[in-house]
Structure 1
Amino acid sequence: MSKPGQLVLSALRKMIASGELAAGARLMEIPTAELFGVSRMPVRMAFRTLEQEGLLVRFGGRGFQVRSVSAEDIAGAVEVRGVLEGLAARQAAERGLTLDAQAALQCCLVEGDQLFNKGFVTEDDLQVYHDLNMRFHQVIVEASHNPAIADALARNDHLPFASVTALAVDRHDLAREYRRFNYAHMQHHSVFDALVSGQGARAEALMREHANATLRYAETFAGPAADERMKVIMPSS
């Protein structure tokens, strides 16, 4: 795919994941091309890729529509992510972490400790947590030295809310979100301990539990109040 096509594809993925393009939204080639300042061909290729990924469905003769995502869709994708990241954690533990990987994970833990020690979080704090959480997970996947895991995660993570790159939060109940993400951060500490101790089976089980802890939020994401209550945090850079 051409560079313009990649840019359009990446932008549309983010717009779908963030809810800017909601389920049922119509997409046509010419308006989309004008929006991004490109020709129709990159847009056409991006649409086809998003259709293959299950994010768009054909609507009428020429256009596409953002696919509706059910709670079951999200739950299934999150569970698959848990299996894949669990495998990555086990392989990383069994191989042994490099000093650089240990340092990167410890940096995430220290940042998280400072964030949650206040006893509350703001939406800005959750942006910080989102970024460090994403780094923590990426380091573990890279430490597995198994490219097949990263490839499988990339395919699975295109579904909105299934990936660590898109963090959905309830902005109407930040006290609950503090408890939720503080607990997730404590799980990071447990995963790190298992990794540095070379406990592959324990690291795998903890990572799967870590992913599955978010499954109950699938109903909230797909529920009728999602647009009002939920905010989706994307990477800051």
Structure 2
Amino acid sequence: MTAPMKPGQRVLFALRKMIVSGEIPDGARIAEIATAERFGVSRMPVRTALRTLEQEGLVAKLGRRGYAARGVTPAQIDDAIEVRGVLEGLAVRLIASRPIAPGFARKLKAVLAEGDALFAGDGFAPEHVDRFYSYNLAFHDLLLDASGNRAIGVALARNNHLPLASAAALALDWDDLANAREHLKAAHEEHLAVADAMLSGRADDAEQRMRRHARAALNPGVMPLVGPV
């Protein structure tokens, strides 16, 4: 039985979407108590979500007055995600350019099996988003570790502080989970394609597929959140 989504995750995904879409305008104060009441949670999940958003550059701390939203432009998101694609593309190129270690292949197939199981049925509820979040991070972290290049990890960690740059930065509309399912399923299918290219030793193909996977987040059909520049 799937565990329910952690309250902090749901608040984080929702606030991220609201800030990026402009529903919470640039400079607007985000009050912990009011936000907790809105989402039916305690103040702690809200506080945790706001700290994460501060690291991503989507909110600014106002001292003891809490946090305020920081507006973000499509160009800022484009730039950050493009850099992520280049770095992760290099990681998979390095993996595909070397003999594939049996241990890595087993781990990769086990992680991908989690994604297969997640999308095996037609239903999709908040707990499925939580499962995708964990699966997605496991996939990206495994590739980074297997690349053997620590500099890529350092560069990605820095880039992850930019808005929506991290693989963990999901921004979802909780009122349209059917649409969210289609987009997350497409991401899983891209994972499968990247894995196939890596395991087959197609380094160029693996790199290009990984870069396209990152850029897919810029597609208006995938992230229709940001207004015109």
Regarding TM over 0.5, the answer is yes
Cα distance change of structure 1 residues 158 and 221 upon mapping to structure 2, 3 Å threshold = farther
Q: CA deviation at 1:80?
A: 1.1
What do residues 168-212 of structure 1 show as CA deviations (whole Å, max 9, x unaligned)? 122222222221111111111111111111111010011011111
- For the 8 Å contact 1:54–1:67, the answer to whether it is kept is yes
2:176 is aligned with what amino acid?
A: D
SS of aligned partner of 1:158: coil
CA distance in 2, matches of 1:178, 1:64: 31
Output the TM-score relative to the length of structure 2: 0.70
| More off after superposition, 83-92 vs 66-75 | 66-75
- For the 8 Å contact 2:13–2:172, the answer to whether it is kept is no
Cα distance change of structure 1 residues 155 and 55 upon mapping to structure 2, 3 Å threshold = farther
CA distance in 2, matches of 1:180, 1:159: 22
- For the 8 Å contact 2:14–2:174, the answer to whether it is kept is no
Q: CA deviation at 1:25?
A: 5.2
Q: CA deviation at 1:67?
A: 3.0
Gap runs ≥5 in structure 2: 1-10, 31-42, 45-50
Which of 164, 168, 192 aligns to 1:165? It is 168
1:151 is aligned with what amino acid?
A: V
**Residue in 2 aligned with 1:32?**
none
Which of 180, 183, 187 aligns to 1:180? It is 183
- For the 8 Å contact 1:16–1:160, the answer to whether it is kept is no
Answering whether residue 125 of structure 2 is matched by residue 117 of structure 1, we say no
Q: CA deviation at 1:97?
A: 3.1
**Residue in 2 aligned with 1:155?**
158
Which of 214, 217, 221 aligns to 2:225? It is 221
Which of 74, 77, 80 aligns to 1:74? It is 77
2:175 is aligned with what amino acid?
A: H
Q: CA deviation at 1:85?
A: 0.6
1:68 is aligned with what amino acid?
A: G
Output the TM-score relative to the length of structure 1: 0.67
CA distance in 2, matches of 1:187, 1:125: 18
Map 1:95-110 onto structure 2 (within 5 A): 95-110=98-113
Q: CA deviation at 1:147?
A: 1.0
SS of aligned partner of 2:171: strand
Which of 4, 19, 28 aligns to 2:15? It is 19
Q: CA deviation at 1:81?
A: 0.7
Q: What percent identity do the matched residue pairs reach? A: 40
What do residues 26-72 of structure 1 show as CA deviations (whole Å, max 9, x unaligned)? 69xxxxxxx99xxxxxxxxx9xxx79x8666798xxx9855321122
**Residue in 2 aligned with 1:191?**
194
**Residue in 2 aligned with 1:43?**
none
Gap runs ≥5 in structure 1: 1-14, 28-34, 37-45, 225-237
**Could you say which structure has the higher strand fraction?**
1
CA distance in 1, matches of 2:125, 2:174: 9
**Residue in 2 aligned with 1:85?**
88
Cα distance change of structure 1 residues 119 and 54 upon mapping to structure 2, 3 Å threshold = closer
How many residues are matched? 190
Give the ranges of 4+ consecutive aligned residues of structure 1 lying more than 6 Å apart after TM superposition. 15-18, 56-59
Which of 120, 131, 134 aligns to 2:134? It is 131
2:80 is aligned with what amino acid?
A: A
CA distance in 1, matches of 2:223, 2:216: 13
